[in-house]
Structure 1
Amino acid sequence: MGLLRRKKKATEAAADTLDTVADRASPSPNPMTNLLLADIAMRAGGAILKRGVETGLLGAKVGTKTAGKVVKSRGIGKSLVRTALARVATRSVPGAIVVGGGLLAKTLYDRHKGKAAAAKGHAEIRKAAKKAE
């Protein structure tokens, strides 16, 4: 019995130590507040990373300044459509197949059209950049 009692006391002491360390390491003593703060930080970081990647990929073709304007000027409608497509693609295998197949078809179509697709894309970029100004 003595061994079990000592083991229980040691476990409780370790748990108390971990709680104390966690309280000092986290911004709030309320764990739900800390979860909310972590969620907001992750989403903000993801948004910043997303904007950087989009600007970098587009900037390789049209210049960083123009790419930044275009990325910032996108409307809520286009953002909602992109978000919906991403959710459909990540929630299920059939959704991923449908969305991936659509993206593949669009890419192949653009490659088939070649110069006409490139010209159309550049015209859309110029239009979006002017709209942002």
Structure 2
Amino acid sequence: MAKLGLTDEDKPNHLTDVVGEKLERATGGLPDRDEPVPGPSPNPATNLIIHDILLRSAGRLSRMAVEKAVLGRQYGQQFAKDAVENRSLVHTLAAYGVTKVATKSVPGALIVGTGLALKVLFDRSQSRRKSRRQGNRTLRRQADPDGKI
């Protein structure tokens, strides 16, 4: 098994490299054989782009469905729909950036995890009523189509 972290360029040094290598060995009998990337186009680069778009779309749709379900149980379906779909570009890019840092390396995951734990501890240090009120206020602003959040 390859070590995670800083290694030679020839060896996998990212979790996705290690998992991808294991999947390739498990699913492909001859990993060194030149086989095109499966897809509708004879161009493997085009097929890779198509796969990327499909995977990102499926991930986004499933993420939004889960977020709507979680919020919908407490706030109602229409409010949840508005809150999830009316996010600002800044909020979306910030979430994407933090996710990218967290998945790029183990130190990045530790930094992001520590930040999230500190935020939870901060929220718990506030009174429960104040924290809930502040979260509800943020969600209402986010659900408002003309809101600034």
The amino acid that maps onto 2:86 is S
Deviations 1:60-79 (A, max 9, x none): 22122111111111011111
- The TM-score, its normalising length taken from structure 1, stands at 0.74
Structure number with the higher helix fraction is 1
Deviation at 1:32, TM superposition (A): 2.4
- Tell me what 1:35 maps to: 48
- Tell me what 1:68 maps to: 81
- Tell me what 1:6 maps to: none
- Tell me what 1:84 maps to: 97
* Correspondence 1:118 to 2:140: no
Deviations 1:4-39 (A, max 9, x none): xxxxxxxxxxxxxxx7xx8xx732232222222111
Question: Percent identity over the alignment?
Answer: 36
Where in structure 1 are there 5+ consecutive unaligned residues?
Answer: 1-18
SS of the residue corresponding to residue 131 of structure 1 reads coil
- The TM-score, its normalising length taken from structure 2, stands at 0.66
Distance 2:136 2:41 in 1: 49
Distance 2:59 2:139 in 1: 24
Distance 2:80 2:137 in 1: 13
Distance 1:44 1:51 in 2: 11
Instruction: Tell me the C-alpha RMSD between the 2 structures.
Output: 2.2
Distance 1:95 1:89 in 2: 5
Deviation at 1:95, TM superposition (A): 1.4
Deviation at 1:131, TM superposition (A): 3.0
SS of the residue corresponding to residue 112 of structure 2 reads helix
Deviation at 1:132, TM superposition (A): 5.5
Distance 1:106 1:61 in 2: 22
Larger of the two Rg values belongs to structure: 1
Question: How many pairs were matched up?
Answer: 112
